[in-house]
Structure 1
């Protein structure tokens, strides 16, 4: 597979290597251990993700942010080219795909992003001894209003989110790590410190809690803490 990056083209060749079977423990067995740790991943729009390592009491042991700005900008530039071509093109010959090279480039790029990000998630979890990776169970994501290229870009971001979860699942499996998903209910709204309701600042990814006074907290970080909280409510309550 050819992948285009700013430095040039790269050839990615998938190789299947034999691995020993990995025995996975059930959720009940994992959470019952005193050294239980989980990697809670909040997939974002501007950031690819914010993830935290949490113990069974919700204490944060490590945090990592993976920015998506450069990837989103590059994808949007490809989509702007597609939109310009659409406006210029009147007739597409029968049997031909419109802007086939560009769409293939975008598809390969999205797949590369999903592989890079999922690999980083598994490596982070493994580094900190987390045997469980937790995502939100997200459905019905809709792009916000904007230009055609903006809406297309957000649709692809949502598609990449699904691919990241899928690729993380099988990469984690090879390391003896299990992927779980939890309800997204109030993950980014409920204050992890007092249980109050967070208020988002307009135009920035920051939030504050009027109840306990915590302010200028990254909203995606709050989302990661909320994912951990929902996991504990389900399995440790």
Structure 2
């Protein structure tokens, strides 16, 4: 990239950056504790059966409590993400622009060629390319699915409580507690796979273009060789 012609553009708001890192830590916490809940690999120092060991230190009770707290944080951060999208245009960048020609051109040129090393560049500069605009909404839907199914199962501990009343129908819709648990487990893995690929592509972009892809989620700025074709999405 020619530094003399580079254009530094403010992309990510403070709210979105905070949300990003809170979301990252929360999802990692949920995934690790969720794996333990699905298959406990220790019972705690007292040898009490994990299911009933709520007061026995590092046991199933503590892990479930951490998992549930993280679930509430995920719910709060999801609501926060929706709110900042309403009030800030630049925070709506994940919306797919399917009505625009460059979106469909980008799907072909970026997804099938650039990301697969079949061409050296994307052809155009994008703030959010067509691949990202396609995948990110699906990730948000996956997170929403995890929230809904998670609180549906959580509500089973109190059938007359708030969460059972709000999301209890999800258990019935998915065919029972076990299928709901399995769908919750599978989608969790999909989110983690996305996270691994996301880190790879961010590092790849930074290594190839040196465009601030890594630092942008700390300072909000990315560097472009020329004005992005979707610049109007943040103005």
With normalisation by structure 2, the TM-score equals 0.29
Higher helix share: 2
Larger Rg: 2
With normalisation by structure 1, the TM-score equals 0.29
The structure whose RCO (Cα within 8 Å, separation 6+) is larger is 2
